[in-house]
Structure formats: C-alpha cells, structure tokens
Amino acid sequence: MVRVKFRYLLGHVRWQTTTKMNSLDISGIYHYLKNSVKLNFGEYAICRLGWTLNVKQYNPLTGLFIVRCSRSQMRQVWLSLTLLDEINSQKCAISIIHSAGTIRSCNLQAIKHTNSSLLVAKSLIQIKNEKEKYQKKKNKKKKNKKKKNKYLPNTQVKKNKSKK
Amino acid sequence: MFIELDFQDNGKQSNYQAISTLAQLGYDGVVFSRTINDVITKNDICTFKELDLKELDQNENSSFKNLSSLTLMKNEKKQFRQYSRLNIIISSKKNIFLLKKMENILKTYDIVAVFPQSTEIFEKCIELPTIDIISFDLSLKYLIKIKYKQVNKAIINGLFFEIRYSSMFKTKQSQARKNTFSNAINVVKYTKGKNLLIASGANDPINLRGPYDVMNMATFFNIPFNQAKNILTANSESVISHGVMRKTYFGVIKVEDKKKIPKELEESTDEDEDEDKNKEEIEIEKEEMMIEKIKKPIILIQK
C-alpha cells in the first residue's frame, strides 16, 4: 500500500574548542536545524517537510546524531546541515557519514565509525610493545649469526637421542 | 583519492591541525597556498617544506583529533601527499608581462593560480603557458563578463576553472552567501562542467567539509551527479600532472635537486658490496662445517 518513506542521516559534530557542551539537547539541535532550513530554502520547504523532520538520537561524548526526514527532501536537509555554522554562540562543523532507510543500519555504521578509532588506540599500544620486542630479538640475532650455505647440499646434522 | 586543493599556509601548528582533520574526513592529499598582490619579485621563491608526519607520534599525546592521521602511518605505502601553490591577484594590465618574465620563480611551485579582476586581463591570461588555474572571487556582487569563445580556447590549451566555497561560512555577512550561489551557477553555465574544480580557500580547519558533502553541494550548482565525483577525483589529479609538465623544458627534460632523490636509489650501491662479502664468508663457513663434522661424529645406536 501507499507508505510514507523516510531517510535517516548519520551526522558527526565537530567543535572549534574542546569545551564540553553538556547543555546541548535534542531539542536544541532541532531548533537550529529548522532555522537553517528556513534561511536557505524558505518557508515553503518547512511546510513541505512538516512533521517528518525529527532528531532521533544524539550522543554528546562522541558527537554522533541521527536525523529523520522525508525521502524527497533529503538533499535539502543535507545542505542545510553542512551550512550550519554556530550553535549556542560556538563555532561548529557537521559532516554526514551515512544515509539509510532504517535506523538499524545507521546504528551499525555508527559502530564501525567508532571501532576504527578505538582500534587505532588499542593497536598503537600493541605496536609499541611489538616494536620493542622485535628490536630486542634483532640485537640477539646479530651475535649468534649463522648463514645458510646456498652452494652446499642439504647437510642435516643429526641429533640422535641416546636411549638408556 | 580526494585531494583538497586550497588551504592557506599559516605555519607549522596550523598545518598539523589541518592534516589531522583532513585525514579524519577522508582526504588523501593537501595543497598549501600563499597569496600575492600584482607584483612578483625575487623574494617570492617557494619556501615550503613537507611536514614529517612521524613527529606527530612522538611530540603530541594521542588525542581524539589526531588518531585518524596515525592510521595512515600504519600503512606506510599509503602516504599523505603535500603540495605547494601560489595565488596571484591581478588588477592592472601593466603587470601581466611579469607572468612571462618571472618564469623561473613560478616553476618552484607545484600549482599556480590567477585571479583576474577585469575582462581584458582575462583575455590575456588564456594563452599563457605558465599558469594552471583561473579562478574568481565569488563573494563580489558582479562577476566578470565571460564569453563562450574565450572559455573554449582555454579548455583547448588545458586550463582549469575553479569554485571556492569558503565564503559561504561567514554568517555575519549574509550577502556573501547569496552571491556565491549565483556566481557559481554562472560559472558552471559557461564551462558546461568541463575542466572544473571545487576547492575551499580556508584559513581555519573548521571551515573544511568532507568530500561527499561537497558533492552534494555541487548538485545545487546544476552539476549532474555523474560529473560531481569526477570533478573531485580525476580533475584534481590532472591539475597536479599539468603542474609537473609545466616545470619541464617542453616536456623533455627535468632537473631536480640532489636531496630529492629517493633513498632507495642511494642504497643500491651498498648492496653490491654486501654480495662481495658474502663470497668470502661462504668460504669461511665451508671450513667451519667440515670442522664441526669431525668434532661431532654421528653416532647410531641399534635397537
């Protein structure tokens, strides 16, 4: 049957200074988003969006949020998000990572986005430890260096186990 | 393979911040730029040095901002490329001859761009061989008068036209945002999407946007979807190759400094000496193996 279809946009907020914006809420983002759509595309665009415009999730620690809009107005909402400059008199920048038809696929992409940055933090510690171990092994190998002879046949030094 | 084509050079620390944000957004290369008004002198030689990304590991603590840049250093083959660029603003007819005369100074930069301020200057800039890009100041109210014939001549010679989107982020001056939209649509109309570039002439790394956001912005400039991705990937690399050919002597010979030779070619001389050493060591080891056999005879025990 006829069904209203939506698009869910996954976005990432980036601040100029690293002060913690604990006062920012879902309603705050909705208020600034609506103003930017009004500024760039006019009141007709807001009337066409209507009740479908909504902010579903927002995480102040990582800066990820999910926005819902109707399928025909996705590009206009996208542009109004990129042109958003100030929130609560602080400068910010928004970049959109993924657009999907369901919230579930957006959440899966959010997990991948944070995993890639967590892996780096873990792997850096591992890389440092591995490098130290590798350098220690190299220093030991140089003392007891035995090169293989390419020109001689395979000479196997047999070690016989003496049974008593 | 996205490359950011214009970012102003303000010292080491701002450049490090820019590289870390760009790697987080998904870019693979940067071009650092510098602006000049009218006159080119001998003091304008390129003093740009590539930044060592390995210093980021040692000096700064691993914060959330710089993590993405460190991912690139894990894969050492995939390096973050850096280039240099010059922007020249020309406002009088008398200074056009300097672009031909000061050829050796312009050859020290990777990319050279020109900002003509009138139609007469625009006509003469088309036939110059020492230029890569022609771009405009889009925040003004009235753009230069462009004609179809002149644009087609420039495309045959291999020049590129450019749009800059950093002037849209000045919220206190709302007139600048309106002018950039109307002027950018005008530029796209005359070029018909050929030999176009999109860049951001930004001072702060906050005014940078990701590549897919820029492609979405290009659809509102009446650029079709198919060309929008080609503009960011293929055209940006062809500009750099155009700059490389500009430095050569008619495309035949290229002269480089000794320091720019990669280390792999210098180390090849050492490998020849190692091969000579191996022969001597092999003879010594042969004797050692024989001696060991005598010292440790093989003993077999029958069950």
CATH code, A61: 3.30.70.3250
Residue A101: C-alpha distances to residues A5, A6, A26, A67, B212 (Å): 8, 6, 21, 11, 18
Could you tell me if residue A57 is inside a domain? yes
| A163 interaction partners in chain B (CB closer than 8 Å) | 301
Nearest alpha carbon to residue B71 among A123, A111, A73, A126: A123
Could you tell me if residue A134 is inside a domain? no
Side-chain half-sphere exposure of B130, counting CA atoms within 13 A: 18
Q: What pLDDT, in 10s, does the model give residues B42-101?
A: 888 888 888 877 665 555 444 444 444 455 554 555 678 899 999 999 999 998 998 889
| B216 interaction partners in chain A (CB closer than 8 Å) | 75, 78-79, 82
Residue A154: the pLDDT is 65
pLDDT, greater one: B269 or B96: B96
Q: Cβ separation of A160 and B298 shorter than 8 Å?
A: yes
Could you tell me if residue A144 is inside a domain? no
pLDDT, greater one: B28 or B252: B28
Residue B113: the pLDDT is 94
| Separation of alpha carbons B106 and B71, rounded Å | 35
Q: Is B72 in the A-facing interface, judged by CB distances under 8 Å?
A: no
Q: Cβ separation of B292 and A157 shorter than 8 Å?
A: yes
> What are A's interface residues with B at a Cβ cutoff of 8 A?
14, 16, 75, 78-79, 82-83, 85-86, 91-93, 95-96, 116-117, 120-121, 123-124, 127, 147, 149-152, 155, 157-158, 160, 162-163
Number of domains in chain A: 1
Could you tell me if residue A96 is inside a domain? yes
Q: What is the pTM of this model?
A: 0.76
Range of the domain at A21: 6-114
| B281 interaction partners in chain A (CB closer than 8 Å) | 147
Could you tell me if residue A124 is inside a domain? no
Q: Is B299 in the A-facing interface, judged by CB distances under 8 Å?
A: yes
Could you tell me if residue A120 is inside a domain? no
- Contacts of residue B195, Cβ cutoff 8 Å, sequence gap at least 6: B154, B155, B159, B160, B161, B235
Could you tell me if residue A37 is inside a domain? yes
| B280 interaction partners in chain A (CB closer than 8 Å) | none
Count Cβ–Cβ pairs < 8 Å, chain A vs chain B: 72
Residues in chain B: 303
Among B19-33, B43-57, B126-140, the minimum mean pLDDT is found in: B43-57
Q: Cβ separation of A82 and B213 shorter than 8 Å?
A: yes
Residue B239: the pLDDT is 94
Residues of chain A scoring pLDDT < 70: 1, 20, 117-128, 141-164
Q: Is B71 in the A-facing interface, judged by CB distances under 8 Å?
A: yes
Could you tell me if residue A155 is inside a domain? no
User: For residue B292, what is the nearest residue in chain A, using CA coordinates?
Assistant: A157
| A92 interaction partners in chain B (CB closer than 8 Å) | 206
Q: Cβ separation of A152 and B289 shorter than 8 Å?
A: yes
| ipTM of predicted complex | 0.77
Q: What pLDDT, in 10s, does the model give residues B144-199?
A: 999 999 999 999 999 999 999 998 887 677 888 889 999 999 999 999 988 999 99
Q: Cβ separation of B71 and A91 shorter than 8 Å?
A: no
Of B21, B282, B296, the CB nearest to A151: B282
Question: What number of H helices and E strands is found in chain A?
Answer: 4, 5
